[in-house]
Structure 1
Amino acid sequence: MSTAASVSTRRPAAASRLLMSGNEAVARAVWEAGARVAAAYPGTPSTEILEALATYPDIYSEWSVNEKVSLEVALGAAMAGSRSFCAMKHVGMNVASDALMTMTLTGVVGGLVIAIADDVGLSSSQNEQDSRFWGRFAHVPLLEPADSQEAHAFTLAAFALSERFEVPVILRLTTRICHVKGLVTVGERSEPAVAGFRKDVGRWVMVPSAAGRRLPLMFERERNLRSAAETSELNCTEMGSDRRVGFITSGPAYMHVRESFPAAPVFKLGFSYPLPFARLRAFAEQCERIVVVEEVEPLIESELKAQGIAVIGKDILPLSGELSPQILKPAIARLLGEPEPPAAPTPALPVFPRPPTMCVACPHLGVYYTLSQLRNVTISGDIGCYTLGFGQPWNALDACISMGASMGMALGLDKGRSDAEQGQKIVAVIGDSTFLHMGMQGLLDIVYNRGNVTVLLLDNRAVGMTGGQDNPGSGRDIHGEDAPRVDFVRLVKALGVRDERVHLVNAYELPVLLRTLREETKIPEPSVIITSQPCVLIKDYHALKPYTVIEDKCTGCGNCVDVGCPAIHVTRRDRVRKASGREVDLAFVRIESAACTGCGLCLKPCAPDAIVHVDTLAMPIKIVRTS
């Protein structure tokens, strides 16, 4: 059972219970804590925290252009004495860390809680970094809930801890916490007093001399935090009857341990940095062996070993992925020299593989189809739905590292090319929100350093990958209200791209897009092609009449299949021999008219003109059923 019930959360007597995800529970607690400002940049698995917060009254919420700005907004509110909140996924703190590493010196006035959601298991991220490092690196406390109830309770506790020690507090979540639902006892909103901003250049102006004076205060605060961790109710011991192996764990890994070994002693860390070494040492002395179960890096294990406490950890457990019972039980059985439990039975009928793809009528489909027609091109990609362009049928993406990196990588590919690659074309692909997040600086660098790069700026008016959230390019704020909309043409020109090298193209007009790409990649200077069509999942998109295939006219050329639209289905494949003796593969298709939105992308490459609107046929559509 979760220990959250023992945590004081200032709930009123007439509290109610709601079924909530961890993200929703955190949002509720931020509101209950009386926070006045909340900011974030969307990123799975943290996105829903701010989306839920935006539905509560009495709190200002915003989608910021990136995580660094969101943390600075939250810090400004905390400097003014208001409780504030910031949320991001794990890689977002890489962007925000510049601000974090100095605010740990200034401290805060109003409570400031930073939720960082780690994607353990790489469900939707390019890496699996462990955000617990930030607590150590920045010398700030770190709390780790294990379920939705604790996500709520620990958020409230984090605000109290932040104000007690005048320090930002990190709330470390994982996908397992963010998206799994449970019953949560909730309360009502409190209204803490707001002190207001008090000028103090020795604290708020971090020139070297001022920062030097704040360093001893930071280390003194950390010593006091260590003492607080020793007595915190967020850390608890559960002594079981089978003391052959005791476990030290935190976060959702606690749930896996408790499920796997219900009779084993467990030290559950909720306040996991600084570590309560005295309590952990006393716990270890009561067990024959101690195994540290942590996701994903051996942080606790290493720190305990440095204290001379004998523990076992990553020498028997994996360094990546969730530590589920299927992982824990065999590992502990091997440690004890016992037979390993039988593996879970394999399904008799494996699930048919369904690789991720773009949506029906996605405006990025035509972009990647067009890129796949080019030769001698290196394509530097970025983070977004359009990252899927690396796969079939396009195979039109050669690199993707991090948000905004397409620009810098493209310039490096240009400047670092070999003599044999001088005829190679360099194209950078980036989405509208990613461009505003971290791509503008890269384009400025390309212009300033005279890079020979063609940039494809894909404007679909949404943060499509995380659910269609709004951004400064959509013309709406987080509440759906009208907001100033960025003019990308004027913006890229302001960054120095010459007027004649900036083109605004309809993403569905494939001939125009192909011609523009061919022309611009021949020009040895920076150019930008902006494709403008809304994401098909947002209200700005308006579907047209769907299309169908005239079976008798379809020659099996398969050109429409290369567009990659999921509404196009191959019904039959044949291999025929041409008069020249060359064998060719034919793919006869149908269009799922119920899914088709009439974008017309498949019309352009269709050689026999076999694709028509459903209502233009003189006879009823023949429905082809496939098993």
Structure 2
Amino acid sequence: MGIIITDKNKSHHFIKFKRNKINLGSGGMETSLKHKRVLTGNEAIARGFYEAGGTIAASYPGSPTVEVLEKLKEYKELYAEFSTNEKVALEVAIGGSFYGARSMAIMKHVGVNIALDPLMTFTQTPTNGGFLLVTGDDPGLASSQNEQDNRLLGKFANMGILDVADSQEAKDFTKKALEISEAFSAPMMLRITSRVCHSRSTVTVEERQEVKAKGINYDKEKFCMIPPGSIKAQIFMRERLNKLEEYAYTTDLNRLELKEDTDTLIITSGLVYYNLKELDPNASIWKLGLIYPISEKKAKEITSKFKKVIVIEEMMPFIENELKLMGIHCEGKKHFSFTGELDIQNIAEGLYEAGILPEKKVYAKRFVETVPRAPLFCTGCPHRPTFDLLKKSKAKVVIGDIGCYSLAMLFPFEQSNIIISMGASIGITKGLRKAMSKDDQDEPLVAVIGDGTFFHSGLSTFVNMLHRKEDKENITLIVLDNRTTAMTGGQPNASSGLYNERDDMKVGIKTLLESLGFDRVKEINQYDYKAAEKIFKEEIAYEGLSIIVANGPCALKYNMEKPHFYVDPNICISCRACIRTNCPPLRMIKYEGIEKLKSSIDKDMCVGCSVCAQVCPVNAIKSSKNIGREDEKVDN
């Protein structure tokens, strides 16, 4: 006997009638019984932190790990925030750990670069409350500017590293990592890849176990990292890793799956393990969950029983190199790519080349082929008119940055010559300008940076622009302020509170820049095409440093939905001025009774931003608010 209960996430759970107390908690439906849910890897990490009694979590939004913090914010028993950047997020989590509370910082792989300065010193200290750094690596560069393998950074920072294969492991390893962290006074890294972050699998869900914070440890020598304390910390780190290696000898995080009548061992970790299992090769498998440190004693005991040892891992030969440093002969990257994901076909080809599979087969693709579509700005995006104006301005050198506006590098705008990393556009522009000035080149330079990136890592670069500023050096800096971190799903930033009441930070970028000492800061409405065009011409022609703060709410985040526009084909002259703004609802079509192709607007896509109407030279584009719907001359 039992009942089916639907929780607030519309998940269904069959609950048997028992005497156990049922408690509907704030983090979804909780029971004293274990039950199952289908979760993404990201959701599972959040669940694991919640169940482990986690207290402090901080992140900066970046794919593939955005949803971890989004989910954590639903649990009222803990504190979770999107910080201004990854360094700050790490420091917030470090503060929680210093108080003895279980803490976690979450970021994409390149975010660890931003956080590396405090991380490299924090890992010298003994962990007071369990500490976990979650890094979302991106094999294949699904949403990133590089493919760095953060297992190398974890080792560099003297951290223990767990590698996640599916959602159940994502939850379990999160809890286990916090336990290990406290048992060995060691900060831990949880490495998860894009595919596991976003894929779903069944997870056993349990109750939260409250873990009381220990309070501050007042031993200054252990936590004030200046000589001579930091010198002693180096020895402490080494001893701590040695203890972790002893733990690696017995841990059930690593498991050996023996197959009879084979002299081949395959060593792997993460999602690659499941792709390998589908092939069912004639080999034993040593599946690693704790990938650093690896127990040298255990590795030698296991590998000594096999003639051939193959390591299969995505990206860098991390495990392979660790084994070779132990004097263990093995092969890996000799047969498998150093870049991209390793799917079943890739693994099969590598194992055939290594002589493990007897024949070369073609396996079904994991993905359904779809019609390719180039990425583009959303309908009504305020950045669209800005880059249309930049293209018309004939600015030859535009330095881009990381955000939605990175798409301006692509057709049809093609308005970014350089894109490197978050916040880099301003510093790069200064270096370019100084080098060009030395060569007597006075070509105007334009740099763009978004509001989220401005607060993330742009402020210090703007301050640096004031250093040795020359009056005649032509630089135009454009801050694209749509009041949200749009590219990762609309998380708040420091200016979001100016657009809505639920966000508590209300930093005005123009006011802030003027308070820093910039004397030429203009503010424009990106949707006011004519006024913006005038400002752009003036500032790009200005011989000196000028800043344009281009305002306009993210049409997607703030649900822009004004009366749609339509085209009167009898007025339209087919000049395509509206089409060149590259807004998705616009296209050229054949109207009945009119020979020439004329412009058209899909009323179901149009959000009423009005930019197309502003650029039309003959006023053929009109707002539907001025007439009855029955009179609209719309042909979609």
Give the Cα–Cα distance (whole angstroms) in 2 for the partners of residues 29 and 415 of structure 1. 51
The aligned length equals 598
Amino acid in the other structure paired with 1:487 = G
Deviation sequence 1:296-317 (CA, Å, 0-9, x none): 1011111212222111111111
Of 186, 194, 202, the match for 1:175: 194
Deviation sequence 1:378-413 (CA, Å, 0-9, x none): 111110000001112211111110000011111111
Give the Cα–Cα distance (whole angstroms) in 2 for the partners of residues 55 and 438 of structure 1. 28
Return the offset for 1:622: 5.3
Of 495, 503, 518, the match for 2:516: 495
**1:286-305 residue pairs with structure 2 within 5 A?**
286-305=305-324
1:267 and 1:280 in contact (8 A); partners too: no
**Alignment partner of 1:49: what SS?**
helix
Aligned to 2:573: 555
Aligned to 1:613: 623
User: Does residue 460 of structure 1 match 2:482?
Assistant: yes
Question: Could you list the runs of 5+ residues in structure 1 that have no partner in the other structure?
Answer: 1-10, 574-585
1:40 and 1:62 in contact (8 A); partners too: yes
Point out the more displaced range, 193-202 or 359-368.
193-202
2:567 and 2:599 in contact (8 A); partners too: yes
User: Does residue 442 of structure 1 match 2:461?
Assistant: yes
Aligned to 2:362: 342
Amino acid in the other structure paired with 1:484 = M
Return the offset for 1:110: 0.5
Aligned to 1:117: 136
Return the offset for 1:615: 5.2
Amino acid in the other structure paired with 2:571 = K
Aligned to 2:449: 430
Return the offset for 1:166: 1.0
Point out the more displaced range, 58-67 or 530-539.
530-539
Percent of aligned positions with the same letter in both sequences? 36
User: Does residue 469 of structure 1 match 2:491?
Assistant: yes
Point out the more displaced range, 152-161 or 244-253.
244-253
Amino acid in the other structure paired with 1:341 = K
**Alignment partner of 1:142: what SS?**
strand
1:143 and 1:272 in contact (8 A); partners too: yes
Give the Cα–Cα distance (whole angstroms) in 2 for the partners of residues 496 and 260 of structure 1. 64
1:557 and 1:587 in contact (8 A); partners too: no
User: Does residue 330 of structure 1 match 2:349?
Assistant: yes
1:143 and 1:273 in contact (8 A); partners too: yes
1:390 and 1:398 in contact (8 A); partners too: yes
**Alignment partner of 1:602: what SS?**
helix
Amino acid in the other structure paired with 1:458 = L
Return the offset for 1:343: 5.6
Return the offset for 1:262: 5.4
Amino acid in the other structure paired with 2:476 = T
User: Does residue 546 of structure 1 match 2:564?
Assistant: yes
1:75 and 1:108 in contact (8 A); partners too: no
User: Does residue 400 of structure 1 match 2:419?
Assistant: yes
Give the Cα–Cα distance (whole angstroms) in 2 for the partners of residues 261 and 309 of structure 1. 24
Amino acid in the other structure paired with 2:47 = R
Of 483, 502, 508, the match for 2:504: 483
Return the offset for 1:93: 0.2
2:379 and 2:605 in contact (8 A); partners too: yes
Give the Cα–Cα distance (whole angstroms) in 2 for the partners of residues 60 and 277 of structure 1. 39
1:447 and 1:526 in contact (8 A); partners too: no
1:376 and 1:423 in contact (8 A); partners too: no
Point out the more displaced range, 232-241 or 479-488.
479-488
1:433 and 1:471 in contact (8 A); partners too: yes
Of 597, 604, 611, the match for 1:601: 611
**1:316-327 residue pairs with structure 2 within 5 A?**
316-327=335-346
**Alignment partner of 2:433: what SS?**
helix
Give the Cα–Cα distance (whole angstroms) in 1 for the partners of residues 229 and 301 of structure 2. 41
Give the Cα–Cα distance (whole angstroms) in 1 for the partners of residues 634 and 522 of structure 2. 42
Give the Cα–Cα distance (whole angstroms) in 2 for the partners of residues 306 and 12 of structure 1. 48
Aligned to 1:42: 61
**Alignment partner of 1:475: what SS?**
helix
**Alignment partner of 1:154: what SS?**
helix
Return the offset for 1:254: 1.1
TM-score between the two structures when normalised by the length of structure 2 = 0.90
Return the offset for 1:423: 3.1
Give the Cα–Cα distance (whole angstroms) in 1 for the partners of residues 501 and 488 of structure 2. 16
Aligned to 1:582: none
Aligned to 1:80: 99
Give the Cα–Cα distance (whole angstroms) in 1 for the partners of residues 83 and 207 of structure 2. 27
Give the 3 Å change call, closer, same or farther, for CA 607–128 of structure 1 in structure 2: same
Give the Cα–Cα distance (whole angstroms) in 1 for the partners of residues 369 and 219 of structure 2. 64
**1:192-271 residue pairs with structure 2 within 5 A?**
192-241=211-260, 243=262, 245-261=264-280, 263-271=282-290
1:558 and 1:587 in contact (8 A); partners too: no
Aligned to 2:599: 589
Amino acid in the other structure paired with 1:494 = S
Deviation sequence 1:244-264 (CA, Å, 0-9, x none): 532101111111111122553
Give the Cα–Cα distance (whole angstroms) in 1 for the partners of residues 406 and 366 of structure 2. 32
**Alignment partner of 1:106: what SS?**
coil
Point out the more displaced range, 294-303 or 415-424.
415-424
User: Does residue 184 of structure 1 match 2:227?
Assistant: no
User: Does residue 389 of structure 1 match 2:401?
Assistant: no
Amino acid in the other structure paired with 1:588 = K
Give the Cα–Cα distance (whole angstroms) in 2 for the partners of residues 151 and 472 of structure 1. 31
2:590 and 2:598 in contact (8 A); partners too: yes
Deviation sequence 1:132-186 (CA, Å, 0-9, x none): 0122101110011210000000000001000011111000011111111111111
Deviation sequence 1:299-355 (CA, Å, 0-9, x none): 1111212222111111111111111101011221122184311364899x9643310
**Alignment partner of 2:195: what SS?**
helix
Return the offset for 1:200: 2.2
Aligned to 2:34: 15
Of 155, 158, 168, the match for 1:139: 158
Of 142, 148, 153, the match for 2:172: 153
Aligned to 2:11: none
Return the offset for 1:372: 0.3
Give the Cα–Cα distance (whole angstroms) in 1 for the partners of residues 618 and 262 of structure 2. 75
Deviation sequence 1:531-551 (CA, Å, 0-9, x none): 111111123x44211011122
Give the Cα–Cα distance (whole angstroms) in 2 for the partners of residues 475 and 461 of structure 1. 8
Give the 3 Å change call, closer, same or farther, for CA 259–345 of structure 1 in structure 2: closer
Give the 3 Å change call, closer, same or farther, for CA 241–616 of structure 1 in structure 2: farther
1:81 and 1:194 in contact (8 A); partners too: yes
Give the Cα–Cα distance (whole angstroms) in 2 for the partners of residues 421 and 524 of structure 1. 14
| Higher relative contact order, structure no. (Cα contacts within 8 Å, ≥ 6 residues apart) | 1
Give the Cα–Cα distance (whole angstroms) in 2 for the partners of residues 256 and 496 of structure 1. 57
Return the offset for 1:624: 4.2
Return the offset for 1:484: 2.9
Deviation sequence 1:11-30 (CA, Å, 0-9, x none): 99721111111110110111
1:114 and 1:169 in contact (8 A); partners too: yes
Deviation sequence 1:566-614 (CA, Å, 0-9, x none): 11123369xxxxxxxxxxxx97321111110110111222223221123
Amino acid in the other structure paired with 2:250 = T
2:498 and 2:507 in contact (8 A); partners too: no
Amino acid in the other structure paired with 1:471 = N
**Alignment partner of 1:151: what SS?**
helix
Return the offset for 1:421: 6.7
CA RMSD of aligned residues (A): 2.3
